[in-house]
Amino acid sequence: MRRHVLVVVVVDDGSTDGTACAAENAGAIVLRHEQNEGKGSALRTGLSRALHLGCEYAVTLDGDGQHAPSDLPPFLRCAEETGAPLIIGNRMHEAAAMPPVRRYVNRWMSQKLSRCAGRDLPDTQSGFRLIHLPTWASLPLSARRFEVESEMLMAFLAANHVVEFVPIRVIAAARKSRIRPFTDTVRWWKWWRKTKRNINGLPKEFDRPSYKTASQEATSHY
């Protein structure tokens, strides 16, 4: 990632291996959680530090090696062309290369969120994202674990922000995923039911797919 961005921040979410040392040796800023707090908390820690450092945008990648940093340029071009404050990597054009359970769960969740939003959201669970930090900081986000991907996406849409998707490759994870299909799906389902009941979380405007065009944002600082 250091070939593409100015600063790399790695959040060590209570790992018990050599993650922190390896990241520091590679030139990253490492932020540590003494205990595992979940992906949502890790993202909040990393994005908050990037905002504090004065970055306007941040790129997020999962820590298991399934995202290729060389896939970043299309995100930057999309941001420059559309001004979208949230751009998500879409793996579904290579869905057959994904593990079957993750492919099924992703499609199931994406279908539910797409139906609610009134537009196609092809890959709602992708962790490879380009995020406009001031916009992110203005949203009411609280998820601490894997449901954070869905919460962030729906919060951007609920606030009438443009969301775009760009194709990325599907790469086999370098280590076993921390996602627990049953437990995390149940937790996501509970989040989904709570969100649907929250009239402030999903406004009636979602019933019609009309979204305000975001103003063109400067993309010089990542």
Euclidean distance between CA atoms 190 and 71, whole angstroms: 33
Residue 163, pLDDT above cutoff 80 = yes
Euclidean distance between CA atoms 194 and 201, whole angstroms: 9
Strands 57-60 and 129-132: antiparallel
The residue-averaged pLDDT of 192-196 equals: 69
* 130 inside domain: yes
Euclidean distance between CA atoms 56 and 52, whole angstroms: 10
Give the burial class of 81: count Cβ atoms within 10 A of its Cβ; 0-12 exposed, 13-18 middle, 19 or more buried: exposed
* 166 inside domain: yes
Residue 179, pLDDT above cutoff 70 = no
* 216 inside domain: no
* Type of residue at 191: W
Residue 87, pLDDT above cutoff 80 = yes
Query: The domain that contains 128 carries what CATH number?
Result: 3.90.550.10
Q: Whose CA is closest to 124, among 148, 145, 94, 141?
A: 148
* 50 inside domain: no
* 68 inside domain: yes
Work out how many domains the chain is built from and give that number: 1
pLDDT tens profile 57-80: 999 999 888 899 999 999 999 999
CB of 49 closer than 8 Å to CB of 181: no
pTM of the complete model beyond 0.85: no
Range of the domain at 60: 56-207
Residue-level pLDDT at 47: 98
